[in-house]
Amino acid sequence: MDAKPAAPSSVIGIDVSKHHFDVKLPSQARTLKFDSTESGLKKLLEKLSAFRECLIVLEATGGYERRLVAELASADHRLAVVNPKRVRDFARANGQLAKTDRIDAHVLALFGERMQPRQSEKTPEKQQELQQLVARRRQVVALHTAESNRLDLTTAKLARKGIRQVLALLERQRCGLDAEIARLVQSDDDWKAKNEILQTVPGVGPGTSATLLAELPELGRVSRQQIASLVGLAPFPRDSGTMKGTRSIWGGRRTVRSALYMAALSARRCNPVLREFANRLEASGKRFKVLITACMRKLLVILNTMLQTKTAWRSN
């Protein structure tokens, strides 16, 4: 649900780094600094308890913010986790070229006042667990691919033996993660029903289905335009006057896009609807990148509609 417009005096900016939290409180010129430790986090939460009605704005920093976000959400604070690029572009547009943790906290507070970002929803613990398992599986697969490539280029017997041992370990980890992801999905009736519907589509396997459940919970709950925009498959125009620029996609959830890319490659071969669609685009002269992106978007829209209507795959 969108956040209510925040008054200029009711926004808190928090810059999160590995070792510190820099906090810009309303009506205070100076920022406060708290250590990114158990005691520091406790002190920060105690300080913020006096600002229950404020919107707290912080950036998605790749993981360092997760503990703080979870604690703030548990304490029922209003919270907005925003894209760092949007904040940096906002700072440049306001002539703020310098960048320090203290300055970033001020910029985040100003960004919240001016842009009124959407309030983040609280992520259930089970959803967080599934997200972490899916992310770890993706990392293990990437490591396995890297080690396989090294094996092809290695001739020393001892080095090849070491690489094979690492590959065997990674394969065991991947199998264990697959089993745990499947168990977690089966333990939730809603996930179980959605998973069964998604996997009726030719080209969508357990990996793609798990990624969609973990990292695209909005699937089946929003319109086709909104779901395409969330994933980053909505083409943006680049027109000026009479010039019609090339449409291109931008932003969105990269990991979901990667899963849909592999699913679209498979669906192009084994899914009659996507195969016919791709052949029609190819016959009209579309480049491969345009063709596969269109297939990804069409597949996503189909999946979204299937979950909305609770309908399994039908070729027509």
pLDDT, tens only, 156-174: 999 999 999 999 999 999 9
The first and second tokens of residue 240, run together, are 């000026």
What spatial distance separates the first Cα and last Cα of the chain, rounded to whole Å?
Answer: 35
pLDDT of the residue at 245: 67
User: Cα(150)–Cα(160) distance, rounded to whole angstroms?
Assistant: 9
Q: Which residues pair with 56 in a beta bridge?
A: 12, 79
pLDDT of the residue at 242: 73
User: Cα(297)–Cα(185) distance, rounded to whole angstroms?
Assistant: 25
CB 55 within 8 A of CB 11: yes
Q: What is the percentage of the chain residues whose pLDDT exceeds 90?
A: 80
Strands (E), 134-193: none
pLDDT at 7 over 70: no
The residues, any chain, with a CB within 8 Å of residue 217's CB and separated by 6 or more, are 127
pLDDT at 5 over 70: no
Please identify which residue in the block is written with the tokens 């490539």: 149
Which has more pLDDT, 242 or 101? 101
pLDDT at 268 over 90: yes
pLDDT of the residue at 125: 85
Segment 273-278 shows an average pLDDT of 96
Q: What is the percentage of the chain residues whose pLDDT exceeds 70?
A: 95
* Helix ranges (DSSP H) in 187-233: 189-198, 206-215, 224-231
pLDDT of the residue at 316: 66
User: Cα(21)–Cα(39) distance, rounded to whole angstroms?
Assistant: 12
pLDDT at 202 over 60: yes
Side chain identity, residue 190 = D
pLDDT tens-digit series, residues 35-80: 999 999 999 999 999 998 899 999 988 778 888 988 898 888 999 9
CB 263 within 8 A of CB 251: no
pLDDT of the residue at 61: 81
User: Cα(234)–Cα(237) distance, rounded to whole angstroms?
Assistant: 10
pLDDT of the residue at 27: 83
Which has more pLDDT, 70 or 312? 312
pLDDT of the residue at 279: 96
pLDDT at 2 over 60: no
User: Cα(165)–Cα(162) distance, rounded to whole angstroms?
Assistant: 5
The first and second tokens of residue 167, run together, are 């590959």
> Which of 70-79, 141-150, 166-175, 195-204 comes out lowest in average pLDDT?
70-79
- Could you tell me the CA-to-CA distances from 139 to 64, 126, 133, 144 in Å, in that order? 18, 20, 10, 9
pLDDT of the residue at 183: 96
pLDDT of the residue at 73: 87
pLDDT at 124 over 90: no
Among residues 259, 209, 203, the alpha carbon closest in space to that of 231 is found at 259
pLDDT of the residue at 9: 52
User: Cα(105)–Cα(94) distance, rounded to whole angstroms?
Assistant: 15
pLDDT of the residue at 264: 97
Please identify which residue in the block is written with the tokens 């690492």: 166
Q: Can you give 52-98 as a three-state secondary structure string? A: CCCEEEEECCCCCCHHHHHHHHHCCCEEEEECHHHHHHHHHHCCCCC
User: Cα(11)–Cα(108) distance, rounded to whole angstroms?
Assistant: 9
